[in-house]
């Protein structure tokens, strides 16, 4: 395949979404997948250091409050796939001191998790990673996840509800959950700002560890939440760690536009890339977003060619093992690193700023990303050859000096 001309393109951003043994339900059965180590620190250390060796911008770590399952399929009791997870934030915390440059973005569900706890956890991760933390906002509309906490009732989705969601028409209670998630994210950002930079003065002689005038009650009263503040954790090193969200339709694009720095989208072809970019910008206008525009990353599930099998043959074999054709909300790519590079550069020309790859088989396909795709992109002069000395915000081209809304002299939002 002919390479796409790239001399005029800006360097692209590349990330990886980590989920157990990989995104295919049969991935754990592959020879290199280490199923006995999936819940060990060494496994996660190895995969993230592989991603860092490939100079990737960040990794996201999947999480949920119920047994992992494909959201496109009915809930079942199948035991032929990985049906367990570690806590994504705690995994990221373990990885922070043993990595140096790569961003760490755990998924944390907003609906059943107190904003105060999320703000404190992500701020702590930003400290332990020295400015490389982020957070993927996740909305839960699951009856089973609500039942894990017993504090609220969320109705079970009917088949009609699922069909309407796929077509872009959400039940009212689901829309309310997205509004609640946006309010929670606003509270979290306010809590990060509740300590001004320099609030810790550590004056031993005067016996003053903090400047109390630089701590602020946020006194937030919203439709869903009431939070006084301040946080008990000083403002994170990045000011605001990077906030991300996965979005498939209008209400989720609007959530991202209200709360996030970066949105993950899922087009299947060039036409959808253009359409989705238009929807994202329309969502920004609808919610009257100010400041930086959303960075738009595309999710792609990847199955690379190997010397023994093509990516298509690998996927077919995994499907046969699983007993069903693999289905995903994102494009499923099979082929060589050069062919994927062609696709990424074509979509970059259409306006996509970065890509989050979902390895079909984590160990094997992540090795191919770091060892084959990245060198291919470097040969085309569209990917870095070393990490710059900056934090995650700087790595992604986001402003690194985030104003504190409570500091004297900060313009009103």
The binding site for FMN consists of 63, 107
With b meaning 16 or more CB within 10 Å and e meaning fewer, what string describes 70-108?
beeeeeeeeeebbeebbebbebbbbbbeebebbbbbbbb
- Cα distances (angstroms) measured from residue 185 to each of 20, 145, 310: 27, 20, 43
Neighbours of 32 (CB within 10 A): 10
Give the residue from 357, 379, 387, 354 showing the smallest Cα distance to 369: 357
Give the residue from 184, 138, 182, 141 showing the smallest Cα distance to 164: 141
- Cα distances (angstroms) measured from residue 212 to each of 91, 117, 119, 220: 34, 22, 20, 20
Q: Residue ranges of the alpha helices (H) in 296-336?
A: 311-322
Q: What angle do CA 30, 33, 38 make, to 5 degrees?
A: 135
Q: Rounded CA gap, 314 and 306, in Å? A: 9
Binding residues: 63, 107
With b meaning 16 or more CB within 10 Å and e meaning fewer, what string describes 348-363?
beeebbbbbbbbbbbb
Give the residue from 349, 261, 379, 244 showing the smallest Cα distance to 299: 244
């Amino acid at each position: 395949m002919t390479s796409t001309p790239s001399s005029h393109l800006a360097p692209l951003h590349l990330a990886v979404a980590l989920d157990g043994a990989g995104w295919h339900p049969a991935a754990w059965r592959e020879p290199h997948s280490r199923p006995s180590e999936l819940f060990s620190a060494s496994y996660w250390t190895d995969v993230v250091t592989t991603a860092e060796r490939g100079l990737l911008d960040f990794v996201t770590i999947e999480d949920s409050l119920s047994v992992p399952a494909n959201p496109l399929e009915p809930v079942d009791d199948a035991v032929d796939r990985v049906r367990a997870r570690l806590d994504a934030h705690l995994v990221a915390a373990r990885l922070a001191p043993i990595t140096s440059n790569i961003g760490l973005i755990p998924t944390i569900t907003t609906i059943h998790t107190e904003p105060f706890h999320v703000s404190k956890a992500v701020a702590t991760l930003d400290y332990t990673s020295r400015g490389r933390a982020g957070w993927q906002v996740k909305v839960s509309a699951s009856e089973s996840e609500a039942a894990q906490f017993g504090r609220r009732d969320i109705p079970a989705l009917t088949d009609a509800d699922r069909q309407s969601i796929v077509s872009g028409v959400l039940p009212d209670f689901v829309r309310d959950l997205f509004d609640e998630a946006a309010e929670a994210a606003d509270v979290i950002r306010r809590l990060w700002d509740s300590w001004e930079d320099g609030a810790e003065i550590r004056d031993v002689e005067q016996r003053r560890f903090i400047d109390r005038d630089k701590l602020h009650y946020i006194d937030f009263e919203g439709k869903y939440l009431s939070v006084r503040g301040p946080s008990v954790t000083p403002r994170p090193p990045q000011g605001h760690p990077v906030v991300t969200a996965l979005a498939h339709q209008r209400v989720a694009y609007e959530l991202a536009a209200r709360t996030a720095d970066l949105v993950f989208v899922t087009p299947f072809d060039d036409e959808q890339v253009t359409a989705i970019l238009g929807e994202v910008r329309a969502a920004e206008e609808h919610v009257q977003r100010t400041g930086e525009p959303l960075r738009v990353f595309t999710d792609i599930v990847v199955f690379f060619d190997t010397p023994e099998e093509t990516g298509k043959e690998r996927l077919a074999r995994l499907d046969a093992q699983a007993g069903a054709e693999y289905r995903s909300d994102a494009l499923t790519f099979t082929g060589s690193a050069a062919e994927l590079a062609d696709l990424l550069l074509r979509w970059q020309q259409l306006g996509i700023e970065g890509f989050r790859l979902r390895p079909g088989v984590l160990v094997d396909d992540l090795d191919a990303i770091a060892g084959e795709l990245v060198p291919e992109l470097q040969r085309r002069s569209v990917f870095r050859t070393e990490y710059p000395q900056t934090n995650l915000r700087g790595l992604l081209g986001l402003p690194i000096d985030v104003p504190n809304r409570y500091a004297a002299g900060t313009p009103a939002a």
